[in-house]
Chains A and B, each alone.
Chain A
Amino acid sequence: DIQMTQSPSSLSASVGDRVTITCRASQGISNYLAWFQRKPGKAPKSLIYAASSLQSGVPSRFSGSGSGTDFTLTISSLQPEDLATYYCQQYNSYPFTFGQGTKLEIK
């Protein structure tokens, strides 16, 4: 199975800050990488697919980059509603696997 490692596990930042979360795959997955946001009691929301493509309706402050084994999710200007846990997920091969999550807190 492909192991996905996210860092950091938690992060505290201020409104307006630029935030970066990284995800590393244990083997190459090309660009078969997605990011999604999860808030308690709500359906997870897909943010990024194919490593860098923004899902429809997602604010442009979210962006993704990377290919192969190293990937990044960036929030260019943190907003209060971005308080959530963020996950990466590889869909290059079965079984699909997920990062452990990054809990983002607002200072």
Chain B
Amino acid sequence: QVQLVQSGAEMKRPGASVKVSCKASGYTFISYAIHWVRQAPGQRLEWMGWINAGNGNTKYSQNFQDRVTFTRDTSATTAYVAVSSLSSEDTAVYFCAREGYDTLTGWGNFDYWGQGTQVTVSS
């Protein structure tokens, strides 16, 4: 069965960087894009962007394109998000999600999600 398993909780100081992983299994990794979404305390879910696991192409939300980097390791079937220059505003749960395909709307809907990774930024 399809599974996305994320790395564990992280605690970082302001100005540091963090890298969260998303290990995929149960499907052909390179055939799907992985999206990243985060939710800060009391805030809405916020879409960060995606990476095409096959060719490595990326798209970033304007809110994240300066400090966020998506990568993937096809041999490890794992996607990563790295966030640099962390501030308290980056404290959030980070989710990965697989972009699925359906015959009605094509690509776009998130059919499987990771369990989330808590990132806490505090001095």
Is A34's CB under 8 angstroms from B61's CB? Answer: no
Q: How far is the CA of A32 from the CA of B109 in the complex (A)?
A: 8
Task: Classify chain B: how many residues form its interface, as a range.
Answer: 20 to 34
Chief secondary structure at chain B's binding surface: strand
Interface presence of A97 (CB below 8 A): yes
Inter-chain contact B115/A41, CB cutoff 8 Å: yes
Nearest CB of chain B from residue A10's CB, rounded to whole Å: 14
Q: For chains A and B in complex, what number of residue pairs have CB atoms within 8 angstroms? A: 68
Distance between Cα atoms of A91 and B46 in the complex (Å): 13
Tell me which residues from 67 to 107 in chain B have a Cβ below 8 Å from any Cβ of chain A. 95, 97, 100, 102, 104-105
| Chain B residues near A (Cβ < 8 Å) | 4, 35, 37, 44-47, 59, 61-63, 95, 97, 100, 102, 104-105, 108-116
Spell out A's residues near B (CB within 8 Å): 30-32, 34, 36, 41-46, 49-50, 53, 55, 87, 89, 91, 94-101
